[in-house]
Amino acid sequence: MELFHDVKIDWLGKKWYFLGFSLIFSVSGLLSLLFWHHLPLDVDFTGGTVVRVKFGQKPDTDKIREAASKAGLGDVRIQSIANTAESNNEVYITLAQKQTSEASLDRGRAAIVKTLTTNYSKAGPEDAGKIDLDNAGRGSLSAWLEQKDPEHLGGADSQNAQTHYEQQAAAIQNYRDVTHGGLIDSIDGLSSVADAAVVSELKQDGYLSGFAIRNVEIVGPQVGNQLKMQALYATLYSLAGMLIYLWFRFELIYGVAAVVAVFHDTLITIGAFSLTNQEISLTVIAAILTLIGYSMNDTIVVFDRIRENLRMTRREPLTDLVNRSINQTLSRTVLTSGLTFLTVLSLYVFGGEVLHGFSFALVIGILIGTYSSIAVAAPMLVAYQDWRAGRGRRATLPAAKKARA
């Protein structure tokens, strides 16, 4: 499918406009990285505790943040989760490294639970000392039932009591976590899975906090530093591998031009995160590596057409030949990049806050990657060839070999 026929756009004639555009965004991002927001890193790289919390009703993030501030936890990060209808009432609460030392990172969960219980829970003063049925684990609930012994089975001294109350605790946990997604609507509802005496005891000495801890992730500072270095190495190794491939497949100048264009894309994308003060996580690094491959693929398509046209005509000025090559691949570029851009734009708009960083990197990367293939990589070939011609050297851009019969 070809969208454009006989296109004659003078791309290289606008190279100074392209250069100005690239300089503005590259320098702006670089200045932000150096002097303004710097490199905003997620807890994946800085270390800290991430707790996933589900609430019975839509959570008030401002109230949660205020509760954390009252508890002295500092400026915690709260991220809403809205990927599905079931997760609309869930948030990620991140306690960064500066609020916890490496030795006490495992206390993050307890600190956040205590904060929510004290300042956000539905429990009142009359519930002090009672068991929280929304957050009690199977072991703690079983031990609590053995101590209370509502069915008078002999308490902790009886093996039958221990086994029976472990079964009751397992049934209650399954009712809460599997049937009701982690939260109990009403203690009366437990009568369908637990004995009447147990339910009566839970109604008397248990309460529902209205929130539940679904998951806890802890990243130490050393692990964060290792991930940071591995992300940097992954990016550099991918650029080096592509340079070697293009050197072997085309010519060194092709590889240099493509790598410079990809580095330009990466710098602008990371600069966009710094300018907007959005944190860079492991998923963002995955998106950046993806856009590196995507941008490189688009650049190789243009380079391959340039090489094919060099075989067919050697007398045409290189500037005209490069313009013609870009115009010949323009339909393919618009179709592939346009459809991919619409896909990632939909992911950015409808994907929820959890995927926001990943999709934002792809949106910026695809736009800049497509632009750089035309406005950065191709003009570098012409500039290099003009430089060699000015020094009285022969052309170095190889044409494609003729296919054997």
Least confident of 278-282, 340-344, 349-353, 376-380: 349-353
Query: Looking at the domain assignment, is residue 324 inside a domain?
Result: yes
Same domain for 266 and 380, yes or no, is yes
The overall average pLDDT reported for the chain is 81
SS3 23: helix
Same domain for 330 and 375, yes or no, is yes
Least confident of 8-22, 89-103, 252-266, 306-320: 89-103
H helices present in 215-352, as ranges? 221-249, 252-276, 282-312, 318-328, 330-350
Quote the pLDDT of residue 147.
Answer: 87
The whole domain housing 191 covers: 122-208
Query: Looking at the domain assignment, is residue 385 inside a domain?
Result: yes
Grade residue 158 by pLDDT with cuts at 50, 70 and 90: confident
Query: Which residues lie closer than 8 Å to 301 by C-beta, 6 or more apart?
Result: 329, 332, 333, 373
Quote the pLDDT of residue 367.
Answer: 92
Same domain for 75 and 214, yes or no, is yes
CA atoms of 254 and 378, how far apart (whole Å)? 9
Whether 133 contacts 205, CB under 8 Å: no
**Per-range mean pLDDT, top range of 58-62, 231-235, 343-347:** 343-347
Q: Looking at residues 166-189, what average pLDDT do you find? A: 88
Same domain for 370 and 348, yes or no, is yes
How, if at all, do strands 90-96 and 48-55 pair? antiparallel
- CATH, residue 56: 3.30.70
pTM of the model: 0.74
Same domain for 328 and 367, yes or no, is yes
| Domain total of the chain | 3
Same domain for 201 and 314, yes or no, is no
Grade residue 299 by pLDDT with cuts at 50, 70 and 90: confident
Least confident of 112-116, 332-336, 348-352, 362-366: 112-116
CA atoms of 246 and 191, how far apart (whole Å)? 69
Same domain for 238 and 380, yes or no, is yes
CA 67 to mean position of chain CA atoms: 27
Render pLDDT for 180-220 as a digit per residue (tens, 0 to 9): 888 888 888 888 888 999 989 998 888 888 888 888 777 76
Token pair for 273: 């995160």
Same domain for 77 and 31, yes or no, is no
